[in-house]
Amino acid sequence: MKILMVDDHKVIVSSLAQVLQEELDIATVDCADDYDSAVITLAQRAFDVAVVDVDLPTRSGLEFARYCFDQQPECKIVILTGMLDRRNIEQAMQLGVHGYLVKTIDPRDLVSCLRLVYRGINVFDEGVSSLLGIAVAGTDGVTDSHTLLSPQQLRVLRNVARGMTNKEVAREMGISEKTARNYLASVFEKLGLQRRSEAAVWYTQNIGEVPHTLDSA
C-alpha cells in the first residue's frame, strides 16, 4: 500500500507514520500538513489510501478529499479526526469516504482498518454509526464496498482469531461478555461467517497479518 497522511499535528503524524512504515505491506508513507502541500504530494505519486484530518490550517480536509477523488478516483479516503461532528460526517458520507475514525484509535487498529479499506471494506467508528444510523448494506465480504466494520468489531475479530473465548475477549477489551458476543455476532453477519475457525482464516487472509496465538498454558 501507498499511504498519504494529511494532518498538521506533527507529533501525531510522525508517530503514526512510524508505525505504518514498520509494516511490510506498506510501501510508502508520505505526509502533508495542509491542503496545498497535500495537492503537491498527490501530483507526485499515486496513492492507495489517503488518511485525512478534517481541520487543516487553510482549507478543509473534506475539500482535499473531494479534490483527491477527482484526481485519483482509485485512492480510498479515510477521515481521521479529533472529534465527531455531525455536519462534517454528513459531508464526508456525501463525498463517499471509505472510513471515518477518531484519533484515539490504537495505532495497531488503525493499521488493520487501512488494510480493510484497501481491500474494499468501509470502516467507521461506532460514534459515526450512532450519529447517522448507518445500516449495513451488504454481507458479501471484501468485494462489497458497502460492508461496514468498526474498530471495536475489528478488535473482537482479532482476538477471536488469536483463539480467545468470549470471556477472554471481554476481559482484554474491558467490556461485558454479552457485549463481546454481540460484537462477534454482528461481525459474523457482516462477513458471512458462521464459525470461529472461519473468522480466524478470514482475519489472516484479509487483514494481512497473522495474530499471535495464545499460549497453550
| pLDDT surpassing 60 at residue 139 | no
Question: Within a 10 A sphere around the Cβ of 94, how many other Cβ atoms?
Answer: 10
Report whether 52 contacts 44 (CB < 8 A). Answer: no
The reported pLDDT for the residue numbered 114 is: 93
| pLDDT surpassing 90 at residue 150 | no
| pLDDT surpassing 70 at residue 212 | no
Mean of pLDDT values over 67-77: 96
Position 10 confidence tier, pLDDT thresholds 50, 70, 90: confident
Mean of pLDDT values over 116-145: 64
| pLDDT surpassing 70 at residue 213 | no
Report whether 157 contacts 115 (CB < 8 A). Answer: no
Q: What percent of the chain has pLDDT over 90?
A: 43
User: CB-based burial of residue 205 (10 Å sphere; 0-12 exposed, 13-18 middle, 19+ buried)?
Assistant: exposed
The reported pLDDT for the residue numbered 161 is: 85
d(CA 207, CA 118): 10
Q: Which of 133, 74, 124 is nearest to 99 (CA)?
A: 124
| pLDDT surpassing 50 at residue 140 | no
Question: Helix, strand, or coil here: 206?
Answer: helix
Q: Which residue has the higher pLDDT, 217 or 181?
A: 181
Position 69 confidence tier, pLDDT thresholds 50, 70, 90: very high
Question: Residue-wise over 127-151: b if at least 16 C-beta within 10 A, else e?
Answer: ebbebeebeeeeeebeebbebbbbb
Mean of pLDDT values over 52-72: 95
Strand order in the sheet with 148-149: 28-32, 2-6, 49-52, 76-81, 99-102, 122-124, 148-149
Q: Which of 113, 117, 6, 124 is nearest to 54 (CA)?
A: 6
d(CA 98, CA 31): 19
Position 143 confidence tier, pLDDT thresholds 50, 70, 90: very low
pTM greater than the 0.85 cutoff: no
Q: Which residue has the higher pLDDT, 73 or 142?
A: 73
Domains within the chain, CATH numbers bracketed: 2-132 (3.40.50.2300), 150-217 (1.10.10.10)
The reported pLDDT for the residue numbered 208 is: 60
Report whether 179 contacts 161 (CB < 8 A). Answer: no
DSSP 205: H
Mean of pLDDT values over 25-44: 94
d(CA 18, CA 45): 20
User: CB-based burial of residue 2 (10 Å sphere; 0-12 exposed, 13-18 middle, 19+ buried)?
Assistant: middle
- In terms of average pLDDT, the best of 32-41, 103-112, 133-142 is 32-41
Q: Which residues contact 112 (CB under 8 A, 6 or more apart)?
A: 151, 154, 158, 207, 209
The reported pLDDT for the residue numbered 79 is: 96
Mean pLDDT, rounded, of the chain:
85
The reported pLDDT for the residue numbered 13 is: 87
